[in-house]
Structure 1
Amino acid sequence: MEATINEAEEVKFKKVTKKSKRKYPGFRKNLCDYIQEYTEYTGIHGFKYMGEQDRSIFEKLWWLVLFCISLWICISLIIDTWKKWETSPVLVSFAKSPTPVWEIPFPALTICPETKAKQTKYNFTDAYDRYKYDGNLTDEELKHLSDSNLICDSNIYNDGTATVKLETIDHLMKIAPQFPEVFLSCKWTLLNESCYDLFTPTLTEDGLCYTFNMLDRSEIFREKVAQYKDYMKHGRYSEGWTLEKGYPPDAPKDTFPRRAMSAGSTAGLFLVITAYKQDLDYVCRGPVQGFKVIDVLLHHPSELPRVNRHYFRAPLNQEVVVSIAPDMMTTSPAIVEYEPHRRQCYFPTEKHLTFFQYYTQQNCEVECLANYTLVKCGCVAYHMPREKSTPICGPGKLECMLEAQKSSLEREVEADMLNYKSVDGKTEESDNCYCLPACTSLSYDAETTQVPYSWQKIFEGFRADINEFPGIQMSRLTVFFKEQQFITSERNELYGLTDFLANCGGILGLFTGFSFLSIVEIFYFIYLRLVCNVKRHGIHYWSGSKSLINDENYVHNLTDFAEILCEF
C-alpha cells in the first residue's frame, strides 16, 4: 500500500516537472490578463471599459478619470456623513403620549424677602451713616456693619476681615425677617398642613430664604458638606421618588416631594406674604422692596436654588398669579453607549459631584463656582457648599469673590476653556467643570400676571382693625399647573451605526456601484481564484519562472493546498 502511494506521488511530481519545461508567459502578461478578467466580471461601474483590450487609450483614460472623480465625490460625502454622525448623533423629539402632571413633583419655590436686615433689629442705614460721616462706631458695631455688607447690593464697606466664622452667619440670620413675619397665610390644596411644615429655611446668596417642596439637605448634599444645623430646620425626606424613575407605583397621594393631582388654581399653592414699612432698608438693597421668588424654571426638589440667576418679583401690594408648564427631557437607552459630549448630557453615574448627591447642571455649576472661588480667593462664600475645614470669605474678599464669579461666567461662555480641550487628537475635561445637562432633567416654564392686591378692603370687609398691624404690607402669590397633561421631550438616536452604513453604502452605490459583495469579489480574485488557478495550471505557469522547480516540498504543499481548497 505504501509503495502504491509513493508511486502516485512520484507520478504527480513528474507531471508538475514536465509542465515546468514548457514555455510559460511572463509575470507581467499573466498579471494583465488577470486584471482584465477581474474588470470583465466585477460589478463596479467603469471597470469593464478600462480593462477591455479593444478599447483605445483615450477611452480607458476617460473612464479612469470619471471613476476617480466619482470616488472623490464619494469620499467627500462620506466624510460629511461621518462628521454629522460624530457631531449630531442625537435628535430631540416628542414622546408618543402625554404625561399627566401628577407623575412629576410640584416645583420647589424659594421665597426671599427683599429686606435683609430688619430696621427694628439692626439699623443698617444708621450704622452706615455713622460710619461714613461720624466714624464713631465701636469695634462690635463695625464688625456687624462689615458682616451685614455680605448680603447688601452696595459694597460700601470692604475693609473687613478676609474670613469670618459661623457667628457672622448667625448674625445675618438673626437680623433677617423670620418665618412668622414673612408668611401670613399659606394653603396647599392637598393637605391641611401649616405653613411651618410646608416651608424650610434655606441659605442662599440672597441671605435667609424659605423653600417649599425641596428635599432635605442631607439628601441633597453629601456627608462631608458642613451643615448649619443651629438655625436650619430639617425638611422632609423623599419617599422613593427619583428624577429618573419618578414616583413608586404604590406612592400615596400625600407623598414627598409633593405633587399636584390636577391642573388649575384649585390644585395649587396659595401664599399671603408680608413686609413692614418700618423694616424696609433702602440703603442695603436699593429702591425696589418686595420679595424675590425663585423662578420655577430651573428648580426641582433635588436642586439647590440660585436666586440671583433665576427669579421674578412679587411686589408689595400686588397679587401675582403663576401658571406653570413643565418641561421634562428624557433620554433613550439607545444612546447610552455614546460619549457624554456626543449626546450632550450626563447620566447620574457618569458625573460625580463632590458636594451633591444628585447631578444636575445647576448643582454642577454651583460646585464648580465654589471650587473656583476657593482656588482664587482661598475661601468660599457663606452660602456655598463647603467642607468644615474650608474658610468662609468675609467682606475683605468681596471683590475677589465677584471677580471669581465673573471669571467663572467667562469660562462658561468660552467653550474652548471650559469644555473639552484637545490633547493629541483626544479630548479631556477642563477642571472638571464641564457641566452638561442631566440626561433626565425637569424644569418649569412660568407665565406670570399681576394685579393690585387690595388687602385693605379685606380688612374693612371683615371689620378687622388694621392698626393692630402697624406698617404692614401684603402680597399674594398663587402657583398652579397650567394644563392637566404635558408632552415630554426625548433624546433619540438620529444617526446610528446602521444609518451611517446605509448612507455610506447608498453613496458608494450611487456613484460607483460598489457594494459589500464588491469587497467579497475583490477578496475572491486576489486570493481564492488565484489559488484555484494555481491548482489548474501550476505555479510555474503563473510565475513564468523555473526557479522553484527544485523545491519539491514547496510545489507539493502549494499544489495540494490549492486542490483541497478548490475541491472543498
Structure 2
Amino acid sequence: MIQVLCNRKVNATIASSITDWSNLQNFITDVWTISQPCSKMLLFCQFGGVKYNCSELFHPIITDSGMCCVFNVVTPNFVYKARGNVKCDAAKCPLPNGTVAVDWSPERGYPAVLPESYSPMHAAGTGESLGLKLMLDVERDSYYCSSTNSVGFKILLHNPLEVPNMREIGLLLSPGHETKVRIRASKTESTQHLRSLNKESRACLFEGEYVLHNYKTYTQSNCMEECFKKILLRYCGCITHYMFDIYRNASICSIYEASCVERVRLQSMVSRNGRGCANTCWPACYDLTYCPDFFITPLSASGFHTKHQLEKSKDTFYMLQNMAVVNIYFKENWYRSSKQAEYVGITEFLSNIGGVIGLFFGFSFISVAEIIFYLLLKPVRMLIILLWSKRTKSAKVRKLQNLKLFEKQSMND
C-alpha cells in the first residue's frame, strides 16, 4: 500500500492478493508510522498574539497529496450533507477551549448571533504580530517518499468551505528558511437583482441554484471535486481514497485503476469544446480568494535553540535541514471586493435610448409627453369642450323656447 501511495513499482502478484482497498484511508490516518502526525509536524503555534497548543488549532485531513493539517476551516458538520459519517467530534476536529463551531459562507457570512469565541475565527488584526506564526519540523530522515520532487512542506490558502486541492495549486515551503506569507484577500459579490437574469448571461451561480450531492454550499472547487468523482465512477467504477464517499457501494480504486484515474483526472480539468468539469462548474456569485506574497530568507542558527527552546538533540545541522518558521498575516485591515451587477439595466437602457434619439432627432422625453398630449389628450379635451358647448347651447335653446312659450301663454291669458 505504501508503494501504491508513493507511485512506486508494485509486484503485480502481491497486489492481486489485495481484494479490498477500502481500508486505504484508515491505513493512512490510523497508522502514525505512515503519515507524519500534526503533533510532530507543528512544534509551535501562535495566533492573534496568543500561544496555542497546535493540536487545538490544527486537525488532520486526507487530501490528494496525502495527510495535511488544516487550520480555521468550517467543520465537516456544516460542509457535508448528512450522508455517511460526517460527525466531527473533539478528537477529529479539535477547537480551543470555549470555542464553538458556527456555520459560515461567503454569501451569508456569519450567523446573526455569535458566541464569544467561535470558529472559523476572525483575524485578530493586521501585521505579523497578530497573524499565524508556526514552527515546523519536516523530519526528513523519516521520509520514504514525497508527493513532489523535493523535501519540505506544501501550503495552501483556501476558502474555509473547500477541500484543499494541494496537488495542483499548493505552494512550497523550504526547511531551513523563515517564510513570511503576506495575504491579500479578494472577494467577489453580486447584486441580488442578478438572480432574475438567466445563468448563461451572468455566468455565475448563487447558493441553491446548483445542488451538490456532497456539499451543502456551492463553490466552484467543491463542484469540480464532485464532478471528477462522478466521471471517475462512470468510467473507472471506483473513487480515490481521499474522496468523501457519499455512494454507499462505491469501491476504492486499486493499483489496477491507477492509469484510468489519472486519465480521467486530466480530462476533467480540460475545458475545450464545452467539455470537462470546468465548463459544468461555474464560479460562485459570492466567492472568497486569498492571494499570498512569499518572502523567504535562510534561518539564523545563532540563538535559535534558546529562543524556541528546542530539544538538545536538534542541533544546528538538524535545524537547517528540517526546521521552518512561517508567519502568515494580512497586509491591511480591508480588502477589495468586486461587485457584479447588470452592465445595462432598465434605467441605463432608457437613458441611452433617449440620448440617441435626442442626438439624431432633437427628441426628448418631454417631447414624448407633448406628443401624447397633442395626439391623445388634446383631441379628447377638444371633444369634451365641443360636447359641453353643444350641451350648453342646447340647454340655452330649450330655455329660450320655454321662455317664449311662457310669454305666449301669458298673452293668451
Relative to the length of structure 1, the TM-score reads 0.57
**2:134 alignment counterpart:** 271
**Residue correspondence of structure 1 range 130-529 to structure 2 within 5 A:** 147-152=1-6, 154=7, 156-157=9-10, 159=12, 160=15, 164-173=20-29, 174=31, 175-189=34-48, 191-225=50-84, 227=86, 233-235=92-94, 238-239=101-102, 241-248=104-111, 251=114, 254-282=117-145, 285=147, 287-294=149-156, 296=157, 299-387=158-246, 388-410=248-270, 413-414=271-272, 416-418=274-276, 434-455=280-301, 457-459=303-305, 466-467=312-313, 473-511=322-360
Q: Secondary structure at the match of 2:73?
A: coil
Call closer, same or farther: CA 1:377–1:521 in 2, change over 3 Å. Answer: same
SS in 1 for 2:27: helix
Secondary structure, counterpart of 2:262 in structure 1: helix
Question: Judging changes above 3 Å, is the alpha-carbon distance between structure 1 residues 353 and 392 closer, same or farther for their aligned structure 2 residues?
Answer: same
Match of 1:53 in 2: none
CA distance in 2, matches of 1:341, 1:163: 46
Shift of 1:457: 4.3
Per the TM alignment, residue 276 of structure 1 is displaced from its structure 2 partner at its CA by 2.2
Further displaced range: 368-377 or 450-459: 450-459
Q: Which structure's relative contact order is higher, taking Cα pairs within 8 Å and 6+ residues apart?
A: 1
CA contact (8 A) 2:224 2:278 kept: no
What code does the residue aligned with 2:171 have? F
Q: Give yes or no for contact 2:189–2:337 (8 Å, CA) kept in 1.
A: yes
Residues 51-94 of structure 1: CA distance to partner in whole angstroms, max 9, x if unpaired? Answer: xxxxxxxxxxxxxxxxxxxxxxxxxxxxxxxxxxxxxxxxxxxx
Structure 1 residue ranges without an equivalent (≥5): 1-146, 419-430, 533-568
C-alpha deviation, 1:158, in angstroms: 8.5
Greater helix share, 1 or 2?
A: 1
Bigger Cα displacement from structure 2, 506-515 vs 187-196: 506-515
Computed over aligned residues only, the root mean square deviation of the Cα atoms, in angstroms, reads 3.8
Separation in 2, partners of 1:499, 1:461:
63
- Seen in structure 2, the aligned counterparts of structure 1 residues 164 and 498 have a Cα distance that, compared at 3 Å, is farther
Once the two structures are superposed, residues 229-277 of structure 1 have per-residue CA deviations (whole angstroms, 9 ceiling, x without a partner) of: 8997135563354422433565456321111121001101111111224
8 Å CA contact 1:200–1:234 kept in 2: the answer is: yes
Preserved CA contact (<8 Å) 1:264 1:480: yes
- Kept in 2: contact 1:361–1:438 (CA 8 A): yes
- What is the one-letter code of the residue matched to 2:329? F
- CA drift of 1:192 comes to 4.3
Cross-structure match for 2:410: none
Amino acid at match of 2:335: F
Aligned partners of 2:43 and 2:136 also within 8 Å? yes
Q: Structure 1 residues 287, 402: CA separation in 2 closer, same or farther (over 3 Å shift)?
A: closer
Q: Greater CA radius of gyration, 1 or 2?
A: 1
Secondary structure of the 2:82 match is coil
Does the CA-based 8 Å contact 1:332-1:491 persist in structure 2? yes
Please report the TM-score for the alignment, with normalisation by the length of structure 2: 0.77
Question: CA contact under 8 A between 1:367 and 1:385: conserved in structure 2?
Answer: no
Q: CA deviation at 1:454?
A: 3.1
Amino acid at match of 1:491: Q
CA contact (8 A) 1:163 1:379 kept: no
Greater Cα shift, 184-193 or 211-220 = 184-193
Alpha-carbon distance, 1:332 to partner: 1.8
- Cα offset for 1:382? 1.0
Equivalent residue letter for 2:137: T
Q: Partners of 1:453 and 1:438 in 2: how far apart?
A: 41
Percent identity for Structure 1 against Structure 2: 25
Secondary structure of 1:166 counterpart: coil
CA distance in 2: counterparts of 1:337 and 1:243, whole angstroms: 20
Separation in 1, partners of 2:371, 2:307: 95
Q: What is the total number of aligned residue pairs between the two structures?
A: 370
Deviation at 1:519, TM superposition (A): 12
CA–CA separation in structure 2 for the residues paired with 1:416 and 1:520 = 52
